[in-house]
């Protein structure tokens, strides 16, 4: 470990014995959620009091450890904004959605989102150690009654067993690390029994909210299920404490590769200098920045949104300026279920048939001379090309390039371009029904 990170405890907890403070069950059972409890630690603003007293707000709960990281005298503290609600949360905005990533539509069985060809997102609980105000899954998270049943878990396992293209399972929720240790182990064991599942990932903010959960018992258990990857979720350098450093050190020593996912948020981390400090501190605690997300169009998160350009500005300030390991990918998770779309600054200036003109982070402009002779890769004799994994209906632009498909058409394209023609030919057909704008496939009606 390099320079020590600091450790903080709010003055109200000064007399709590270390044995309790460092016990994750104590942290969970002493979480704060009312005006009275929170006010003992930080002086609340009118807007925060209103929100905390409002009905029907997304669940509030904060571990004593995490609330201690807030500077009680700063109403704009970046950690405070992530976990203490304000009245602005109740303000609707244009394009706001309940399930902005259309996850429910992509779920073949409850709690299992199969959006991409070879991997699934498995929601194993609705509970978290602390609730983030901008939660993308606030439609289900926090509600103990909405948590997944044993029956649903068995359905998820059955689906995975009969779906051999799934080679990567991402456990999320809620937060898988708040599950009772036995249940978490059962999930991992059952997944490992499925031969085609190659890697398991955990998405968890527990190391950040409650680093004491990363016990030796936990890392010993996790190691049995390798290859296992963990993504944590840190948004601001102030979240990187001595305790988090110790937790990620334990995970890394258990052979678990660590990544970080952040959400870009106005007033929290929408600054290239904050992001550079965050990225560099993450690499010091052995965590590789993985994704920086544009804030989703989710209810309650409107006041956190930044222009998409802010993310590109941040990547511009990272790439070349610091270690490549410290540069995350900036991602817009497409509203409506389009999935993750990476964005970055433009580095290509121009092309000709033999040259490409590029620029670097400094504005240095260069040319790369293309090879005059290029022996085209022969897919006929390449064993990998011959045995490629099928991605039914999902090969996308790659499928256009490798010749599998000639074109990709928007829904209804053929119908629109028939103009009156087809209608004329079919007008005597009793089955013919006029199609509304944007309605389903032509075949359905012909
Ligand atoms: C983010 C996500 C994944 C994992 O995506 P990677 O780019 O492989 O990290 C898988 N499924 C769903 C539904 C997701 O949202």
Tell me the CA–centroid distance for residue 332 and ligand 1, in Å: 12
Tell me the CA–centroid distance for residue 153 and ligand 1, in Å: 20
- CA 113 to ligand 1: nearest atom: 13
178 vs 435, more confident: 178
Top CATH class of 1-343 equals: alpha beta
- CA 291 to ligand 1: nearest atom: 9
Residue 427 is predicted with a pLDDT of 55
The pLDDT tens digits for 392-437 are 888 899 999 988 889 999 889 998 888 877 655 555 554 444 444 4
Residue 446 is predicted with a pLDDT of 33
389 catalytic, yes or no? no
Tell me the CA–centroid distance for residue 115 and ligand 1, in Å: 8
Looking at every residue in the chain, the average pLDDT score rounds to: 92
**Catalytic entry in 81, 133, 137, 310:** 137
2 pLDDT exceeds 60? no
How far is it, in rounded angstroms, from Cα 85 to Cα 299?
Answer: 13
The pLDDT tens digits for 300-311 are 999 999 999 999
- Our mutation pick for probing the ligand 1 site, out of 107, 114, 115, counting the most ligand atoms within 8 A of Cβ, is 115
Sign of CA dihedral 19, 25, 28, 30: negative
What residue ranges do the domains of the chain occupy? 1-343, 409-444
- Our mutation pick for probing the ligand 1 site, out of 340, 341, 342, counting the most ligand atoms within 8 A of Cβ, is 340
128 catalytic, yes or no? yes
Tell me the CA–centroid distance for residue 375 and ligand 1, in Å: 36
How large is the average pLDDT for residues 277-292?
A: 98
Question: Structure pTM?
Answer: 0.92
The pLDDT tens digits for 73-94 are 999 999 999 999 999 999 999 9
Residue 420 is predicted with a pLDDT of 72
Residue 443 pLDDT class (50, 70, 90 cuts): very low
Name every protein residue with a CB atom under 6 angstroms from any ligand 1 atom: 113, 115-116, 119, 121, 170, 340
Nearest CA to ligand 1 atom 14: 121
340 catalytic, yes or no? yes
How large is the average pLDDT for residues 267-281?
A: 98
% residues pLDDT > 70 (the chain): 94
């Amino acid at each position: 470990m390099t320079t020590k990170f600091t450790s903080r405890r709010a003055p109200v907890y000064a007399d709590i014995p270390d044995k309790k403070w460092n016990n994750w069950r104590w942290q969970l059972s002493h979480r704060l959620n009312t005006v009275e409890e929170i006010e003992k630690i930080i002086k609340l603003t009118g807007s925060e009091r209103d929100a905390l007293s409002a009905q029907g707000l997304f669940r509030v709960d904060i571990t004593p450890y995490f609330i201690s990281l807030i500077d009680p005298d700063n109403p704009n503290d970046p950690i405070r904004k992530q976990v203490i609600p304000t009245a602005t949360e109740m303000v609707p905005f244009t394009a706001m959605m309940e399930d902005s990533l259309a996850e429910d539509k992509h779920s073949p069985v409850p709690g299992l989102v199969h959006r991409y060809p070879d991997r699934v997102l498995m929601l194993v609980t609705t509970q978290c150690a602390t609730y983030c105000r901008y939660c993308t899954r606030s439609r289900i998270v926090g509600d103990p009654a909405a948590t997944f049943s044993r029956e649903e878990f068995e359905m998820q396992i059955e689906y995975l067993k009969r779906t051999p293209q799934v080679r990567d399972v991402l456990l999320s929720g809620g937060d898988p690390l708040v599950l009772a240790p036995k249940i978490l182990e059962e999930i991992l064991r059952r997944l490992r029994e499925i031969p085609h599942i190659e890697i398991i990932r955990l998405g968890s903010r527990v190391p950040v909210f409650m680093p004491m959960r990363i016990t030796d018992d936990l890392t010993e258990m996790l190691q049995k299920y390798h290859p296992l990857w963990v993504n944590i979720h840190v948004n601001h350098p102030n979240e990187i404490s001595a305790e988090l450093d110790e937790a990620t050190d334990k995970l890394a020593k258990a052979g678990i590769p660590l990544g970080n996912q952040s959400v870009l948020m106005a007033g929290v981390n929408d600054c290239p200098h904050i992001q550079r400090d965050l990225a560099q501190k993450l690499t010091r605690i052995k965590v590789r920045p993985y994704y920086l997300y544009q804030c989703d169009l989710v209810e309650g998160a409107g006041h956190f949104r930044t222009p998409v350009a802010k993310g590109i500005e941040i990547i511009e300030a990272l790439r070349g300026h610091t270690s490549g390991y410290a540069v995350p990918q900036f991602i817009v998770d497409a509203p409506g279920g389009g999935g993750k779309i990476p964005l970055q600054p433009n580095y290509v200036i121009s092309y000709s048939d033999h040259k490409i003109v590029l620029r670097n982070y400094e504005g240095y402009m260069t040319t790369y001379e293309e090879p005059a002779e290029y022996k085209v890769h022969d897919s006929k004799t390449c064993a990998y090309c011959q045995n490629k994994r099928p991605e039914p209906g999902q090969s996308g632009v790659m499928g256009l390039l490798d010749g599998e498909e000639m074109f990709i058409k928007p829904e209804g394209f053929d119908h629109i371009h028939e103009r009156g023609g087809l209608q004329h030919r079919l007008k005597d057909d009793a089955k013919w029904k006029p199609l509304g704008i944007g309605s389903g496939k032509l075949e359905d009606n012909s």
